[in-house]
Amino acid sequence: MATQLAWFRNDLRLADHAALIAAAARGPVAALFVLDDETPGAWRVGAAQRWWLHHSLARLGRSIAEGGGRLILRRGRAGPIVRAVAAELGADVHALLHHEPWAAVQVAEAGAVIPHLGVTLAPPESVLSGTGGRYRIFTPWWKKLLEQMPPPRPRPVPDLRWADVGSIASDDLSQWGLLPTAPDWSGGFSQWQPGEAGAAARLADFARRAARYETARNLPSVEGTSRLSPHLALGEVSPNTAWHVIADAVGETVAEPYLRELGWRDFAANIIDQFPDHGDAPNREAFNRFPFIDDPVGLTAWQHGQTGYPIVDAGMRQLWTTGWMHNRVRMITASFLVKHQLIDWRHGERWFWDCLVDADYGSNAQGWQWVMGSGVDSSPFNRIFAPVGQSAKFDAAAYIRRWVPELAQLPDDAIHAPWEAGVALIRAGVKLGRDYPQPIVNHEAARARALAAWAQVKNA
Ligand SMILES: Cc1cc2nc3c(=O)[nH]c(=O)nc-3n(C[C@H](O)[C@H](O)[C@H](O)COP(=O)(O)OP(=O)(O)OC[C@H]3O[C@@H](n4cnc5c(N)ncnc54)[C@H](O)[C@@H]3O)c2cc1C
Protein backbone atom coordinates (compact mmCIF):
# COMPACT_ATOMS: atom_id res chain seq x y z
CA MET A 1 0.00 0.00 0.00
CA ALA A 2 1.29 3.44 -0.92
CA THR A 3 2.42 5.75 1.85
CA GLN A 4 -0.06 8.48 2.74
CA LEU A 5 1.22 11.91 3.77
CA ALA A 6 -0.83 13.74 6.40
CA TRP A 7 0.05 17.42 6.05
CA PHE A 8 -0.70 19.20 9.32
CA ARG A 9 -1.32 22.93 9.37
CA ASN A 10 -3.37 24.72 12.06
CA ASP A 11 -4.98 21.37 12.90
CA LEU A 12 -2.40 19.99 15.32
CA ARG A 13 -4.37 17.03 16.67
CA LEU A 14 -4.74 13.32 16.11
CA ALA A 15 -8.42 12.96 17.12
CA ASP A 16 -11.30 13.92 14.81
CA HIS A 17 -8.88 14.74 12.02
CA ALA A 18 -10.49 13.74 8.74
CA ALA A 19 -7.25 13.94 6.74
CA LEU A 20 -5.47 11.63 9.17
CA ILE A 21 -8.40 9.22 9.26
CA ALA A 22 -8.51 9.03 5.47
CA ALA A 23 -4.75 8.60 5.26
CA ALA A 24 -4.76 5.83 7.89
CA ALA A 25 -7.45 3.93 5.98
CA ARG A 26 -5.31 3.84 2.85
CA GLY A 27 -1.84 2.93 4.03
CA PRO A 28 1.10 3.69 6.29
CA VAL A 29 1.06 7.34 7.33
CA ALA A 30 3.82 9.95 7.27
CA ALA A 31 3.20 13.23 9.10
CA LEU A 32 4.53 16.61 7.99
CA PHE A 33 4.39 20.17 9.31
CA VAL A 34 5.91 23.08 7.40
CA LEU A 35 6.67 26.39 9.08
CA ASP A 36 5.80 28.72 6.23
CA ASP A 37 6.68 32.36 6.82
CA GLU A 38 6.63 33.12 3.12
CA THR A 39 3.20 32.37 1.65
CA PRO A 40 1.21 34.28 4.32
CA GLY A 41 3.49 37.31 3.89
CA ALA A 42 2.71 39.89 6.56
CA TRP A 43 0.30 37.40 8.16
CA ARG A 44 3.01 34.94 9.10
CA VAL A 45 2.52 33.49 12.59
CA GLY A 46 2.90 36.25 15.19
CA ALA A 47 5.29 36.23 18.15
CA ALA A 48 2.90 35.00 20.87
CA GLN A 49 1.47 32.26 18.68
CA ARG A 50 4.98 31.13 17.75
CA TRP A 51 5.45 30.34 21.45
CA TRP A 52 2.27 28.27 21.35
CA LEU A 53 3.19 26.61 18.08
CA HIS A 54 6.53 25.48 19.47
CA HIS A 55 4.91 23.69 22.41
CA SER A 56 2.05 22.33 20.35
CA LEU A 57 4.41 20.83 17.76
CA ALA A 58 6.59 19.37 20.49
CA ARG A 59 3.56 17.61 21.96
CA LEU A 60 2.21 16.41 18.63
CA GLY A 61 5.69 15.12 17.78
CA ARG A 62 5.79 13.24 21.09
CA SER A 63 2.35 11.67 20.51
CA ILE A 64 3.42 10.51 17.07
CA ALA A 65 6.74 9.19 18.41
CA GLU A 66 4.91 7.24 21.13
CA GLY A 67 3.11 5.36 18.34
CA GLY A 68 6.39 4.67 16.57
CA GLY A 69 6.26 7.47 13.97
CA ARG A 70 8.05 10.76 13.44
CA LEU A 71 6.68 14.20 12.68
CA ILE A 72 8.69 15.59 9.77
CA LEU A 73 9.42 19.28 10.30
CA ARG A 74 10.43 21.58 7.47
CA ARG A 75 10.71 25.31 7.12
CA GLY A 76 10.10 27.31 3.95
CA ARG A 77 7.44 27.81 1.30
CA ALA A 78 4.91 25.10 2.10
CA GLY A 79 3.62 24.16 -1.37
CA PRO A 80 6.93 23.17 -3.01
CA ILE A 81 8.11 21.45 0.20
CA VAL A 82 4.96 19.32 0.47
CA ARG A 83 5.26 18.42 -3.20
CA ALA A 84 8.92 17.40 -2.76
CA VAL A 85 8.35 15.33 0.39
CA ALA A 86 5.37 13.59 -1.22
CA ALA A 87 7.50 12.78 -4.29
CA GLU A 88 10.32 11.45 -2.12
CA LEU A 89 7.88 9.18 -0.29
CA GLY A 90 5.80 8.35 -3.35
CA ALA A 91 2.85 9.40 -1.20
CA ASP A 92 -0.65 10.77 -1.66
CA VAL A 93 -1.17 14.00 0.31
CA HIS A 94 -4.10 14.56 2.67
CA ALA A 95 -4.87 17.88 4.35
CA LEU A 96 -7.73 19.72 6.00
CA LEU A 97 -9.15 22.65 4.05
CA HIS A 98 -8.35 26.00 5.67
CA HIS A 99 -9.90 29.29 4.62
CA GLU A 100 -7.14 31.87 4.95
CA PRO A 101 -6.23 33.28 1.53
CA TRP A 102 -2.70 31.89 1.73
CA ALA A 103 -3.94 28.39 2.62
CA ALA A 104 -5.42 27.98 -0.86
CA VAL A 105 -2.16 29.15 -2.43
CA GLN A 106 -0.25 26.57 -0.39
CA VAL A 107 -2.56 23.79 -1.57
CA ALA A 108 -2.42 24.90 -5.21
CA GLU A 109 1.37 24.92 -5.09
CA ALA A 110 1.54 21.56 -3.33
CA GLY A 111 0.01 19.78 -6.29
CA ALA A 112 -2.44 16.93 -5.90
CA VAL A 113 -3.72 17.37 -2.36
CA ILE A 114 -6.74 15.36 -1.23
CA PRO A 115 -8.79 17.87 0.77
CA HIS A 116 -10.86 17.05 3.87
CA LEU A 117 -13.27 18.97 6.08
CA GLY A 118 -12.92 19.64 9.77
CA VAL A 119 -11.68 23.17 10.40
CA THR A 120 -15.20 24.60 10.78
CA LEU A 121 -18.57 23.23 11.87
CA ALA A 122 -19.68 23.27 8.24
CA PRO A 123 -17.91 24.31 5.02
CA PRO A 124 -18.55 28.04 4.38
CA GLU A 125 -19.88 27.44 0.88
CA SER A 126 -22.50 25.01 2.18
CA VAL A 127 -24.50 27.67 4.04
CA LEU A 128 -26.60 29.28 1.32
CA SER A 129 -29.78 31.32 1.18
CA GLY A 130 -32.95 30.12 -0.59
CA THR A 131 -31.72 31.75 -3.80
CA GLY A 132 -28.32 30.09 -3.51
CA GLY A 133 -26.48 33.23 -2.36
CA ARG A 134 -23.85 33.57 0.34
CA TYR A 135 -24.66 35.29 3.64
CA ARG A 136 -22.90 38.37 4.95
CA ILE A 137 -24.97 38.98 8.08
CA PHE A 138 -24.57 36.74 11.09
CA THR A 139 -28.15 36.14 12.29
CA PRO A 140 -29.69 34.76 9.07
CA TRP A 141 -26.48 32.85 8.40
CA TRP A 142 -26.64 31.30 11.90
CA LYS A 143 -30.27 30.28 11.43
CA LYS A 144 -29.33 28.58 8.18
CA LEU A 145 -26.27 26.91 9.68
CA LEU A 146 -28.43 25.50 12.48
CA GLU A 147 -30.35 23.52 9.86
CA GLN A 148 -27.13 21.51 9.39
CA MET A 149 -26.43 21.22 13.10
CA PRO A 150 -25.49 19.36 15.21
CA PRO A 151 -22.24 18.71 13.38
CA PRO A 152 -21.04 15.12 12.94
CA ARG A 153 -19.91 13.51 16.20
CA PRO A 154 -16.14 13.65 16.61
CA ARG A 155 -14.21 10.60 15.56
CA PRO A 156 -11.42 9.10 17.66
CA VAL A 157 -7.76 8.76 16.73
CA PRO A 158 -7.66 6.17 13.94
CA ASP A 159 -5.59 2.98 14.08
CA LEU A 160 -2.36 4.29 12.71
CA ARG A 161 0.51 2.47 11.09
CA TRP A 162 3.27 5.03 10.80
CA ALA A 163 5.42 4.92 7.69
CA ASP A 164 9.18 4.53 7.92
CA VAL A 165 10.42 8.05 7.22
CA GLY A 166 13.95 7.52 8.53
CA SER A 167 15.48 8.67 5.26
CA ILE A 168 13.48 11.91 5.07
CA ALA A 169 15.24 15.03 6.35
CA SER A 170 13.58 16.85 9.22
CA ASP A 171 14.46 20.06 11.06
CA ASP A 172 15.11 20.27 14.76
CA LEU A 173 12.20 22.18 16.37
CA SER A 174 14.49 23.87 18.88
CA GLN A 175 16.45 25.40 15.98
CA TRP A 176 13.40 27.22 14.64
CA GLY A 177 13.67 29.93 17.26
CA LEU A 178 9.94 30.06 17.94
CA LEU A 179 10.43 30.81 21.62
CA PRO A 180 11.40 34.29 22.81
CA THR A 181 14.95 34.62 24.06
CA ALA A 182 16.20 37.96 25.33
CA PRO A 183 14.00 39.31 26.74
CA ASP A 184 11.78 36.31 27.47
CA TRP A 185 8.30 37.83 27.76
CA SER A 186 6.52 34.50 28.02
CA GLY A 187 6.56 34.14 31.84
CA GLY A 188 2.83 34.93 32.03
CA PHE A 189 2.01 32.22 29.50
CA SER A 190 2.52 29.45 32.05
CA GLN A 191 -1.24 29.23 32.62
CA TRP A 192 -1.56 27.64 29.18
CA GLN A 193 -1.04 24.01 28.27
CA PRO A 194 -0.65 23.93 24.49
CA GLY A 195 -1.37 20.67 22.68
CA GLU A 196 -4.18 18.20 22.27
CA ALA A 197 -4.16 16.96 25.88
CA GLY A 198 -4.21 20.55 27.16
CA ALA A 199 -7.15 21.33 24.89
CA ALA A 200 -9.07 18.29 26.14
CA ALA A 201 -8.37 19.25 29.76
CA ARG A 202 -9.56 22.82 29.21
CA LEU A 203 -12.69 21.64 27.44
CA ALA A 204 -13.47 19.22 30.28
CA ASP A 205 -12.95 22.02 32.80
CA PHE A 206 -15.24 24.33 30.86
CA ALA A 207 -17.91 21.62 30.57
CA ARG A 208 -18.22 21.82 34.37
CA ARG A 209 -18.72 25.62 34.17
CA ALA A 210 -20.71 25.83 30.95
CA ALA A 211 -24.11 26.16 32.61
CA ARG A 212 -22.99 29.57 33.95
CA TYR A 213 -21.62 30.77 30.59
CA GLU A 214 -24.53 33.03 29.66
CA THR A 215 -24.49 34.99 32.90
CA ALA A 216 -20.71 35.13 33.31
CA ARG A 217 -19.37 35.49 29.77
CA ASN A 218 -19.35 39.30 29.74
CA LEU A 219 -17.64 39.74 33.10
CA PRO A 220 -13.88 40.10 32.76
CA SER A 221 -13.37 39.70 36.52
CA VAL A 222 -14.55 36.08 36.49
CA GLU A 223 -13.43 33.08 34.45
CA GLY A 224 -16.75 32.80 32.67
CA THR A 225 -15.68 31.82 29.18
CA SER A 226 -13.98 28.68 27.90
CA ARG A 227 -10.54 30.14 27.06
CA LEU A 228 -10.43 27.47 24.41
CA SER A 229 -9.67 29.94 21.60
CA PRO A 230 -5.92 29.28 21.26
CA HIS A 231 -6.57 25.53 21.13
CA LEU A 232 -9.22 26.08 18.44
CA ALA A 233 -6.99 28.48 16.53
CA LEU A 234 -4.22 25.88 16.29
CA GLY A 235 -6.73 23.10 15.74
CA GLU A 236 -5.78 21.08 18.81
CA VAL A 237 -9.46 20.37 19.26
CA SER A 238 -12.08 20.33 16.51
CA PRO A 239 -15.09 22.67 16.68
CA ASN A 240 -17.30 19.58 16.39
CA THR A 241 -15.75 18.17 19.55
CA ALA A 242 -16.27 21.45 21.42
CA TRP A 243 -19.90 21.53 20.23
CA HIS A 244 -20.73 17.99 21.35
CA VAL A 245 -18.85 18.00 24.65
CA ILE A 246 -20.60 21.16 25.80
CA ALA A 247 -24.03 20.24 24.40
CA ASP A 248 -23.77 16.82 26.08
CA ALA A 249 -22.70 18.42 29.36
CA VAL A 250 -25.50 20.97 29.75
CA GLY A 251 -28.00 20.20 26.99
CA GLU A 252 -28.29 22.06 23.69
CA THR A 253 -30.66 24.72 25.03
CA VAL A 254 -28.41 25.82 27.88
CA ALA A 255 -25.37 25.46 25.63
CA GLU A 256 -26.88 27.71 22.92
CA PRO A 257 -25.06 30.96 23.86
CA TYR A 258 -21.74 29.12 23.77
CA LEU A 259 -22.55 27.28 20.54
CA ARG A 260 -23.49 30.61 18.97
CA GLU A 261 -20.00 31.94 19.79
CA LEU A 262 -18.52 28.90 18.10
CA GLY A 263 -20.77 29.96 15.25
CA TRP A 264 -19.03 33.37 15.12
CA ARG A 265 -15.79 31.51 14.48
CA ASP A 266 -17.39 29.74 11.52
CA PHE A 267 -18.91 33.02 10.37
CA ALA A 268 -15.44 34.58 10.26
CA ALA A 269 -14.36 31.74 7.95
CA ASN A 270 -17.43 32.45 5.83
CA ILE A 271 -16.43 36.11 5.55
CA ILE A 272 -12.76 35.59 4.63
CA ASP A 273 -13.87 32.96 2.15
CA GLN A 274 -15.82 35.74 0.41
CA PHE A 275 -13.45 38.62 1.20
CA PRO A 276 -9.91 37.21 1.32
CA ASP A 277 -8.39 40.64 2.01
CA HIS A 278 -10.62 41.22 5.05
CA GLY A 279 -7.55 41.70 7.23
CA ASP A 280 -6.30 44.61 5.13
CA ALA A 281 -9.24 46.31 3.45
CA PRO A 282 -12.48 47.71 4.88
CA ASN A 283 -15.66 46.19 3.48
CA ARG A 284 -17.37 49.55 3.40
CA GLU A 285 -15.75 51.83 0.86
CA ALA A 286 -16.33 55.02 2.87
CA PHE A 287 -13.76 53.86 5.40
CA ASN A 288 -10.99 54.14 2.82
CA ARG A 289 -11.38 57.91 3.25
CA PHE A 290 -11.54 57.93 7.05
CA PRO A 291 -9.27 60.66 8.49
CA PHE A 292 -7.19 58.48 10.82
CA ILE A 293 -4.54 60.24 12.85
CA ASP A 294 -0.88 59.29 12.63
CA ASP A 295 -0.09 59.15 16.34
CA PRO A 296 2.84 56.86 17.23
CA VAL A 297 2.94 58.14 20.83
CA GLY A 298 -0.76 57.40 21.34
CA LEU A 299 -0.37 54.00 19.73
CA THR A 300 2.47 53.11 22.09
CA ALA A 301 0.45 54.27 25.11
CA TRP A 302 -2.40 52.00 24.01
CA GLN A 303 -0.12 49.04 23.32
CA HIS A 304 1.56 49.33 26.70
CA GLY A 305 -1.59 49.91 28.74
CA GLN A 306 -0.80 53.53 29.58
CA THR A 307 -3.88 55.40 28.34
CA GLY A 308 -5.11 56.46 31.77
CA TYR A 309 -8.37 54.54 31.22
CA PRO A 310 -8.14 51.60 33.66
CA ILE A 311 -10.30 49.13 31.72
CA VAL A 312 -8.33 49.78 28.54
CA ASP A 313 -4.98 49.52 30.30
CA ALA A 314 -6.02 46.36 32.16
CA GLY A 315 -6.97 44.68 28.88
CA MET A 316 -3.81 45.68 27.06
CA ARG A 317 -1.65 44.46 29.94
CA GLN A 318 -3.55 41.18 30.17
CA LEU A 319 -2.90 40.75 26.45
CA TRP A 320 0.82 41.46 26.75
CA THR A 321 1.30 39.27 29.81
CA THR A 322 -0.86 36.25 28.96
CA GLY A 323 -1.34 36.39 25.17
CA TRP A 324 -5.11 36.52 25.61
CA MET A 325 -7.76 39.12 26.40
CA HIS A 326 -11.38 38.82 27.49
CA ASN A 327 -13.81 39.34 24.57
CA ARG A 328 -15.70 42.25 26.16
CA VAL A 329 -12.39 43.98 26.82
CA ARG A 330 -11.19 43.29 23.25
CA MET A 331 -14.20 45.29 22.08
CA ILE A 332 -13.55 48.11 24.56
CA THR A 333 -9.82 48.42 23.83
CA ALA A 334 -10.33 48.17 20.06
CA SER A 335 -13.08 50.78 20.15
CA PHE A 336 -10.88 53.07 22.24
CA LEU A 337 -8.06 52.90 19.69
CA VAL A 338 -10.18 53.58 16.62
CA LYS A 339 -12.77 55.98 18.04
CA HIS A 340 -11.15 57.76 21.01
CA GLN A 341 -7.68 57.88 19.49
CA LEU A 342 -8.72 57.85 15.81
CA ILE A 343 -5.88 55.45 15.03
CA ASP A 344 -6.23 53.16 12.01
CA TRP A 345 -7.80 49.83 13.02
CA ARG A 346 -5.10 47.96 11.10
CA HIS A 347 -2.47 49.08 13.64
CA GLY A 348 -4.53 47.52 16.41
CA GLU A 349 -5.25 44.43 14.37
CA ARG A 350 -1.50 43.90 13.77
CA TRP A 351 -0.71 44.36 17.44
CA PHE A 352 -3.35 41.80 18.39
CA TRP A 353 -2.00 39.46 15.71
CA ASP A 354 1.45 39.61 17.22
CA CYS A 355 0.35 39.39 20.87
CA LEU A 356 -2.56 36.90 20.81
CA VAL A 357 -1.96 33.21 21.32
CA ASP A 358 -5.37 32.69 19.68
CA ALA A 359 -4.56 34.90 16.65
CA ASP A 360 -6.91 33.87 13.86
CA TYR A 361 -6.93 35.81 10.59
CA GLY A 362 -10.70 35.70 10.11
CA SER A 363 -11.79 36.27 13.72
CA ASN A 364 -9.29 39.06 14.26
CA ALA A 365 -10.21 40.92 11.08
CA GLN A 366 -13.90 40.41 11.80
CA GLY A 367 -13.48 41.72 15.37
CA TRP A 368 -11.66 44.85 14.23
CA GLN A 369 -13.97 45.58 11.30
CA TRP A 370 -16.99 45.01 13.54
CA VAL A 371 -15.73 47.55 16.07
CA MET A 372 -14.65 50.05 13.41
CA GLY A 373 -18.01 49.80 11.68
CA SER A 374 -16.34 49.02 8.37
CA GLY A 375 -17.27 45.33 8.09
CA VAL A 376 -20.17 43.79 6.19
CA ASP A 377 -21.74 42.89 9.54
CA SER A 378 -20.60 45.43 12.06
CA SER A 379 -21.52 47.83 14.80
CA PRO A 380 -22.48 51.26 13.39
CA PHE A 381 -19.59 53.73 13.67
CA ASN A 382 -21.61 56.17 15.76
CA ARG A 383 -22.08 53.55 18.49
CA ILE A 384 -19.11 54.58 20.62
CA PHE A 385 -18.31 52.56 23.72
CA ALA A 386 -17.89 54.72 26.83
CA PRO A 387 -14.94 53.01 28.53
CA VAL A 388 -15.94 54.09 32.04
CA GLY A 389 -19.57 53.08 31.58
CA GLN A 390 -18.56 49.71 30.14
CA SER A 391 -16.10 49.13 32.99
CA ALA A 392 -18.75 49.79 35.65
CA LYS A 393 -21.54 47.95 33.82
CA PHE A 394 -19.50 44.78 33.46
CA ASP A 395 -18.13 45.01 36.99
CA ALA A 396 -14.47 45.16 36.04
CA ALA A 397 -13.10 46.38 39.42
CA ALA A 398 -11.41 43.09 40.37
CA TYR A 399 -10.07 42.74 36.83
CA ILE A 400 -8.55 46.23 37.00
CA ARG A 401 -6.99 45.50 40.40
CA ARG A 402 -5.37 42.40 38.93
CA TRP A 403 -3.88 44.11 35.89
CA VAL A 404 -3.42 47.71 37.06
CA PRO A 405 -2.01 47.22 40.56
CA GLU A 406 -1.24 50.96 40.84
CA LEU A 407 -4.99 51.43 41.40
CA ALA A 408 -5.58 48.37 43.60
CA GLN A 409 -6.33 50.43 46.70
CA LEU A 410 -9.15 52.40 45.09
CA PRO A 411 -12.71 51.41 46.06
CA ASP A 412 -14.93 49.81 43.41
CA ASP A 413 -16.89 52.96 42.65
CA ALA A 414 -13.75 55.02 42.04
CA ILE A 415 -11.55 52.57 40.17
CA HIS A 416 -13.20 52.95 36.75
CA ALA A 417 -12.40 56.69 36.47
CA PRO A 418 -9.54 57.59 38.85
CA TRP A 419 -9.42 61.22 37.64
CA GLU A 420 -12.84 61.69 39.24
CA ALA A 421 -11.94 59.82 42.43
CA GLY A 422 -11.02 62.92 44.50
CA VAL A 423 -10.37 62.06 48.11
CA ALA A 424 -10.37 58.30 47.40
CA LEU A 425 -7.32 58.87 45.24
CA ILE A 426 -5.54 60.70 48.03
CA ARG A 427 -6.46 57.98 50.55
CA ALA A 428 -5.07 55.35 48.16
CA GLY A 429 -1.85 57.36 47.88
CA VAL A 430 -2.13 57.58 44.11
CA LYS A 431 -1.03 60.67 42.23
CA LEU A 432 -2.13 60.81 38.61
CA GLY A 433 0.71 61.63 36.26
CA ARG A 434 3.18 60.10 38.72
CA ASP A 435 1.81 56.66 39.69
CA TYR A 436 -0.69 56.23 36.88
CA PRO A 437 -1.25 58.28 33.69
CA GLN A 438 -3.75 61.08 33.34
CA PRO A 439 -6.33 60.06 30.70
CA ILE A 440 -4.77 60.66 27.28
CA VAL A 441 -8.07 61.91 25.87
CA ASN A 442 -11.24 63.37 27.32
CA HIS A 443 -14.14 61.01 26.60
CA GLU A 444 -16.70 63.63 25.56
CA ALA A 445 -14.25 65.55 23.39
CA ALA A 446 -12.96 62.35 21.79
CA ARG A 447 -16.48 61.17 21.12
CA ALA A 448 -17.39 64.47 19.44
CA ARG A 449 -14.18 64.36 17.37
CA ALA A 450 -14.92 60.79 16.22
CA LEU A 451 -18.48 61.66 15.22
CA ALA A 452 -17.25 64.71 13.30
CA ALA A 453 -14.68 62.57 11.48
CA TRP A 454 -17.37 60.08 10.56
CA ALA A 455 -19.75 62.80 9.37
CA GLN A 456 -17.01 64.14 7.10
CA VAL A 457 -16.56 60.71 5.46
CA LYS A 458 -20.16 59.64 5.44
CA ASN A 459 -21.35 62.83 3.78
CA ALA A 460 -18.49 63.18 1.30
C1 LIG B 1 -11.02 43.17 18.15
C2 LIG B 1 -11.23 41.68 18.31
C3 LIG B 1 -10.22 40.81 17.87
C4 LIG B 1 -10.41 39.42 18.02
N5 LIG B 1 -9.42 38.57 17.58
C6 LIG B 1 -9.59 37.22 17.69
C7 LIG B 1 -8.60 36.32 17.22
O8 LIG B 1 -7.57 36.71 16.66
N9 LIG B 1 -8.81 34.99 17.41
C10 LIG B 1 -9.95 34.51 18.00
O11 LIG B 1 -10.08 33.29 18.15
N12 LIG B 1 -10.92 35.34 18.41
C13 LIG B 1 -10.77 36.68 18.29
N14 LIG B 1 -11.75 37.52 18.74
C15 LIG B 1 -13.04 36.95 19.21
C16 LIG B 1 -13.15 36.67 20.72
O17 LIG B 1 -12.73 37.77 21.45
C18 LIG B 1 -12.34 35.43 21.17
O19 LIG B 1 -12.61 34.34 20.32
C20 LIG B 1 -12.70 35.04 22.59
O21 LIG B 1 -12.45 36.10 23.47
C22 LIG B 1 -11.90 33.82 22.99
O23 LIG B 1 -12.12 33.51 24.33
P24 LIG B 1 -12.85 32.17 24.75
O25 LIG B 1 -12.21 31.01 24.07
O26 LIG B 1 -12.90 32.14 26.23
O27 LIG B 1 -14.27 32.41 24.13
P28 LIG B 1 -15.70 31.74 24.43
O29 LIG B 1 -16.60 32.82 24.90
O30 LIG B 1 -15.56 30.55 25.28
O31 LIG B 1 -16.21 31.35 22.97
C32 LIG B 1 -16.13 30.05 22.43
C33 LIG B 1 -15.31 30.05 21.16
O34 LIG B 1 -16.00 30.71 20.12
C35 LIG B 1 -15.09 31.45 19.32
N36 LIG B 1 -15.47 32.86 19.39
C37 LIG B 1 -16.01 33.50 20.46
N38 LIG B 1 -16.31 34.78 20.14
C39 LIG B 1 -15.91 34.94 18.85
C40 LIG B 1 -15.96 36.05 17.95
N41 LIG B 1 -16.46 37.23 18.29
N42 LIG B 1 -15.45 35.88 16.69
C43 LIG B 1 -14.96 34.67 16.29
N44 LIG B 1 -14.91 33.59 17.11
C45 LIG B 1 -15.38 33.73 18.37
C46 LIG B 1 -13.69 31.20 19.86
O47 LIG B 1 -13.08 30.18 19.10
C48 LIG B 1 -13.98 30.76 21.29
O49 LIG B 1 -13.01 29.90 21.82
C50 LIG B 1 -11.60 38.92 18.61
C51 LIG B 1 -12.57 39.82 19.04
C52 LIG B 1 -12.39 41.18 18.90
C53 LIG B 1 -13.45 42.12 19.37
Helices H / strands E in the chain, number of each: 20, 5
**CB 233 less than 6 A from any atom of ligand 1:** yes
Nearby residues of 356 by Cβ (< 8 Å), 6 or more positions away: 46, 48, 49, 230, 319, 323, 324, 325, 364
pLDDT at position 128 is 98
Residue among 139, 205, 272, 327 whose CB has most ligand 1 atoms within 8 A, to mutate: 327
Position 182, amino acid: A
**CB 327 less than 6 A from any atom of ligand 1:** yes
**CB 217 less than 6 A from any atom of ligand 1:** yes
pLDDT at position 460 is 64
What domains appear along the chain, each with residue ranges and CATH number? 4-118 (3.40.50.620), 120-154+196-274 (1.25.40.80), 285-458 (1.10.579.10)
pLDDT in tens, the chain (460 residues): 899 999 999 999 999 999 999 999 999 999 999 999 999 999 999 999 999 999 999 999 999 999 999 999 999 999 999 999 999 999 999 999 999 999 999 999 999 999 999 999 999 999 999 999 999 999 999 999 999 999 999 999 999 999 999 999 999 999 999 999 889 999 999 999 999 999 999 999 999 999 999 999 999 999 999 999 999 999 999 999 999 999 999 999 999 999 999 999 999 999 999 999 999 999 999 999 999 999 999 999 999 999 999 999 999 999 999 999 999 999 999 999 999 999 999 999 999 999 999 999 999 999 999 999 999 999 999 999 999 999 999 999 999 999 999 999 999 999 999 999 999 999 999 999 999 999 999 999 999 999 999 999 887 6
pLDDT at position 457 is 87
Q: What's the CA-to-centroid distance between 309 and ligand 1, angstroms? A: 23
pLDDT at position 364 is 98
Q: Which long-range contacts (CB under 8 A, 24 or more apart) does 446-450 make?
A: 446/339, 446/340, 446/341, 447/339, 447/340, 447/384, 447/386, 449/342, 450/339, 450/340, 450/342, 450/381, 450/384
Nearest CA to ligand 1 atom 19: 229
Q: Is 215 exposed, middle or buried (0-12, 13-18, 19+ CB in 10 A)?
A: exposed
Q: What's the CA-to-centroid distance between 286 and ligand 1, angstroms? A: 27
**CB 377 less than 6 A from any atom of ligand 1:** no
Q: How far apart are the first and last CA of the chain?
A: 66
Query: Which phi and psi (to 5°) does residue 208 adopt?
Result: -75, -20
Q: What's the CA-to-centroid distance between 330 and ligand 1, angstroms? A: 9
**CB 352 less than 6 A from any atom of ligand 1:** yes
**CB 3 less than 6 A from any atom of ligand 1:** no
**CB 357 less than 6 A from any atom of ligand 1:** no
**CB 358 less than 6 A from any atom of ligand 1:** yes
The answer to whether the beta carbons of residues 363 and 265 sit under 8 Å apart is: yes
pLDDT at position 153 is 98
Q: Is 172 exposed, middle or buried (0-12, 13-18, 19+ CB in 10 A)?
A: exposed
Q: Which atom of ligand 1 is nearest to 230's Cα? A: 11
**CB 368 less than 6 A from any atom of ligand 1:** yes
Q: Which long-range contacts (CB under 8 A, 24 or more apart) does 172-178 make?
A: 172/73, 173/54, 173/57, 173/58, 173/61, 173/73, 176/35, 176/54, 176/73, 176/75, 178/35, 178/50, 178/51, 178/53, 178/54
Q: Which long-range contacts (CB under 8 A, 24 or more apart) does 346-350 make?
A: 346/280, 347/299, 348/302, 349/279
Q: Which atom of ligand 1 is nearest to 231's Cα? A: 49
Nearest CA to ligand 1 atom 4: 364
**CB 265 less than 6 A from any atom of ligand 1:** yes
Residue among 261, 355, 364 whose CB has most ligand 1 atoms within 8 A, to mutate: 261
pLDDT at position 459 is 74
**CB 88 less than 6 A from any atom of ligand 1:** no
The answer to whether the beta carbons of residues 325 and 315 sit under 8 Å apart is: yes
Nearest CA to ligand 1 atom 36: 261
